[in-house]
Chains A and B, each alone.
Chain A
Amino acid sequence: MFAYYFQLGLRSLRRNPLLTALMVMAIGFGVAASMITYSVFRATANNPIPQKSDQLYAVQIANWKPEDLDKSEPPDALTYTDAVALMQAHRARRQTALYPVGPSVVPADASQLPFRETTYAWYGDAFAMFDIPFLYGGAWSAAEDGAHAPVAVLGKALNDKLFNGANSVGKTINLDGHDYRVTGVIDTWNPQPMFFDASNTQGFGDPAELFIPFTRAIDQQMGGAGNFNCSATPGSGWEARLRSECIWIAFWAELPSAAEAAGYKRFLRGYAAEQQHAGRFNWAPNVRLRNVTQWLDFEKVVPPESKISLLVSLGFLLICLVNTIGLLLAKFMRRAPEIGVRRALGASRKTIYAQFLVEAGAVGLAGGVLGLLLTGLGVLGVGLVFDPQIARLATLDFSLMGLTLLVATLATVLAAFYPTWRAAQVQPAWQLKSN
């Protein structure tokens, strides 16, 4: 029976090619617009580390007076003082302070120019915390952190570039004229958004290819390659920078259970209270512990462009559907006499429903196919609208293709309910009476 309805549907669609084309185009455009913007939204709203997103917490401590805070939220990074204090307290299962640095890599081959890679200074714990896969070797040890050792972990791409992909563990690389021993090479690791440094990258940037100990970077007076925000001018010199109330360091703690998280929050409050007693803070403890998803949300990693355009596109789809309801109504009611005859020949309401919904489904499917083409084109053109860092994440994969067809068909069938209901209301004798 389905085949018969489908055949009837196709025949009917061919009978009003213009009306059919209109509907298919409306659905195609509506679905494509929604899918293109959704692909961007999906990329930006992605959970970059789903298996651990509720175990990793970013720490915030209000070290500025309340009137310098935005909506009484503590700043989104820590001072050196606080970051080091939390590292020394060592109250989480694992923890790391981190900040982006900008050393230059000097190739051993003197004919090659020095270059820079996205580099992070952090603690050896970070690799295990962030589930970073190793190709060769492993993280540097806690002892090496403590010794401010000149060691490094390379990204796969950098290892390919410097050592042609060979196992480079134990070899040295030159950063800003100083040798660093390679302890490990990680496999491709590029969480999107880059949750661990959302405050500097806004979630999206070039993948990190080089990691060195935080303690070593501080020894080397490596200035940050990220934000450095102050509520008062810090004074001159590196030492003044470290002592200042300027914020530039992210701090992450791994707290596998809710109890541990609650415990850590108590510890943070206690730490802030201590600072208050010591006279550093002149205000009540104000601390935050946000897990990965909360952190990304707080950092507004999903750009407003992405949200607004998704909303506008959904509105667009809605209009296209209203349009489709109208056109389907026109199309179905034009066939009122035919429906009357079919009803007189013994078609039940149910069969009329089935016939017209199948017809609508065919329109929706055709719209979906057009939408798929347009989505493909649109995804290529996303770079025109969004930051290239984000645009390249928007891809037309199988799940998006499936979703496009599904949304198109489902939406059209939904839109067809009212016109179909109207069609099914046609009485067998109706056409004889109306003129």
Chain B
Amino acid sequence: MQIKPILAALKRHKAGTVLIALQIALTLAIVCNALFIIQQRVSKLVRPTGVAESEVLTVQNSWVGADDATAASRTKTDLLALRGMPGVRDASFSNSYPLRGGGMSLGVKTDPDVKKPITGATIYYSDDHSIDALGAKLIAGRNFLPQEIRWVGSNEFDAPAQVIISKALAHKVYPDGSALGKPIYLALGETGGKPSTVVGIVERLQVPWSGNWASNFVEYSVLVPYQSTGAFGSYIIRAKPGQLDALTKAVPALLFKTNRMRVIPAERGVRTFAQVRDEAYKSDRGMAILMGVVCAVLLAITAAGIVGLTSFWVGQRRKQIGVRRALGATKHDILSYFLTENLLIGAGGVIVGAALAIGMNLWLVSHFEMERLSLLYVVVGVVALLLLGQGAVLAPAMKASRVPPVEATRSV
């Protein structure tokens, strides 16, 4: 419609126009980036771990005053007791488990003579019960056999003869999908080493770390047929359906009954997997919530600002609205005048805002471990802000359209 005269009129209200446009621009820049952060965090925290999360309980245990031999025998006694508990489907002992926060990682190679590993991967000490206790799904090959399990000291690591690896890792080291039965070499920066044959592949098993730095090997896991004789470790207990809650109390009680000379930390010692997940992603979830709140309040404030300033403009222009009405403008003409005016200001704002959004993202990328903003977010943000502007201006514009033509004859 009448864009030129609206622009002409806006030129006479530079300050208000610039302020609204600026507010829209800044809001767009922040909202785009905030939405992007939300999306990134949320996509992280919905990642499946490969664990039967609703059925698993973890217990962190450390033996008091036990040498390697006694620690091993105590751990074995515990495992027998746990597996015999009513309500327990299976139990295992490991150095770590997905999302625990701490664990062990090694390099994985297929050629022993190169120094540089293909990738890093986490090492889970396991036995023939581990896959069942975690609720992981064996999709190829076989589980460990009881006779393959070795008890090793806490300061020992020697490449095992057999390993079970996650599907993601299998595809990474043998992209043609032929990992089963092939050797891999677990090592760091040195050459040589003993081959470990891939005897099984599990569908999915996440690493213990949830930080961004681990995101390039998040599903690269190696199960080794070792049990540690060291004093520290975690029990992974899989409850029968509906038994998890009962086990959170019963398991520590049973363990202390079996042997008192142990420490199960009061905080974070006994955790259901739901708690493990909760704590691992606390800051990601919190960041998403914070950004969500910021977005919502920001949009509300920007909308309120537009309502406020447009209402003022309508009040200031009552007389000229009356004159326009007297000169033949319909209500609809007046309504669309204000909507168009807002759209023009909004368009100016989102153009600047889109540039700001991208600039802000580039800055974040260079200073923090952030990814490049997908343009989709900018487009969504632009549309959202233009709609927000139109929505905000609707009420004052309706009010303007109701200014009676007789207003033109009233004196100031």
- B283/A326 in contact, CB under 8 A: no
- B409 interface residue, CB < 8 Å from A? no
- A338 interface residue, CB < 8 Å from B? no
CB distance from A178 to the nearest CB of B (A): 8
Q: Which of A18, A19, A315 has most chain B Cβ within 10 Å?
A: A315
CB distance from B29 to the nearest CB of A (A): 7
Residue of B nearest to A390 (CB): B283
- B256 interface residue, CB < 8 Å from A? yes
- A329/B15 in contact, CB under 8 A: yes
- B155/A238 in contact, CB under 8 A: yes
- B190 interface residue, CB < 8 Å from A? yes
- A318 interface residue, CB < 8 Å from B? yes
CB distance from A140 to the nearest CB of B (A): 22
Residues of A within 8 A of B340 (CB): none
- B289 interface residue, CB < 8 Å from A? yes
Residues of A within 8 A of B313 (CB): 330
- A334/B316 in contact, CB under 8 A: yes
- B189/A333 in contact, CB under 8 A: no
B 16-32 binary contact with A (CB < 8 Å = 1; else 0)? 10011011001101100
- A104/B294 in contact, CB under 8 A: no
Residue of B nearest to A326 (CB): B19
Task: Using A102-B62, A116-B62, A304-B368 as known contacts, say yes or no to A22 and B305 having CB atoms under 8 A apart.
Answer: yes
Residues of B within 8 A of A102 (CB): 62, 232
Q: Which of A18, A240, A309 has most chain B Cβ within 10 Å?
A: A309
- A160 interface residue, CB < 8 Å from B? no
- A386/B155 in contact, CB under 8 A: no
Residue of A nearest to B191 (CB): A232
Residues of A within 8 A of B15 (CB): 329, 418, 422
Q: How many residues on A have C-beta within 8 angstroms of the other chain's C-beta atoms?
A: 63
What is the count of residue pairs linking A and B with beta-carbon distances less than 8 angstroms? 165
The stretch from B3-11, B124-132, B142-150, B261-269 touching chain A is: B261-269
Task: Using A102-B62, A223-B230, A230-B188 as known contacts, say yes or no to A116 and B16 having CB atoms under 8 A apart.
Answer: no
Q: CA A47 – CA B308 in complex, angstroms?
A: 44
Residues of B within 8 A of A233 (CB): 106, 157, 187-188, 190, 193
- B276 interface residue, CB < 8 Å from A? no
- B156 interface residue, CB < 8 Å from A? yes
Residues of B within 8 A of A114 (CB): 64, 260-263
Task: Using A106-B64, A319-B23, A385-B287 as known contacts, say yes or no to A313 and B309 having CB atoms under 8 A apart.
Answer: no
- A166 interface residue, CB < 8 Å from B? no
Residue of A nearest to B34 (CB): A312
- B315/A104 in contact, CB under 8 A: no
- A384/B16 in contact, CB under 8 A: no
Partner of A326, one of B155, B287, B305: B305
Residue of A nearest to B286 (CB): A385
- B176 interface residue, CB < 8 Å from A? no
Q: CA A319 – CA B260 in complex, angstroms?
A: 60
Residues of B within 8 A of A333 (CB): 312, 316
B 74-93 binary contact with A (CB < 8 Å = 1; else 0)? 00000000000000000000
Task: Using A106-B65, A233-B188, A334-B315 as known contacts, say yes or no to A319 and B302 having CB atoms under 8 A apart.
Answer: yes
- B376 interface residue, CB < 8 Å from A? no
B 360-375 binary contact with A (CB < 8 Å = 1; else 0)? 0000100111000000
A 309-321 binary contact with B (CB < 8 Å = 1; else 0)? 1001101101110
- A334/B263 in contact, CB under 8 A: no
Q: Which A residues are within 8 Å of any B CB, using their own CB?
A: 18-19, 22, 25-26, 29-30, 33, 64-65, 68, 102, 104, 106, 113-116, 176-178, 223, 230-234, 236-238, 240-241, 303-305, 307-309, 312-313, 315-316, 318-320, 322-323, 325-327, 329-331, 333-334, 384-388, 418, 422, 435
Give 12 A-B contacts (CB < 8 Å), ordered by A residue.
A25-B301, A113-B256, A233-B188, A233-B193, A308-B364, A318-B26, A322-B22, A326-B19, A329-B309, A333-B312, A384-B286, A422-B15
Q: Which B residues are within 8 Å of any A CB, using their own CB?
A: 15-16, 19-20, 22-23, 26-27, 29-30, 33-34, 37, 62, 64-65, 106, 153-158, 187-190, 193, 230, 232, 256, 260-263, 265-266, 282-283, 286-287, 289-291, 294, 297-298, 301-302, 304-305, 308-309, 311-313, 315-316, 319, 364, 367-369, 412
Given contacts A240-B155, A308-B364, A323-B23, 9 further A-B contacts (CB under 8 A): A22-B304, A26-B305, A106-B64, A106-B65, A234-B155, A238-B155, A308-B37, A313-B294, A322-B19
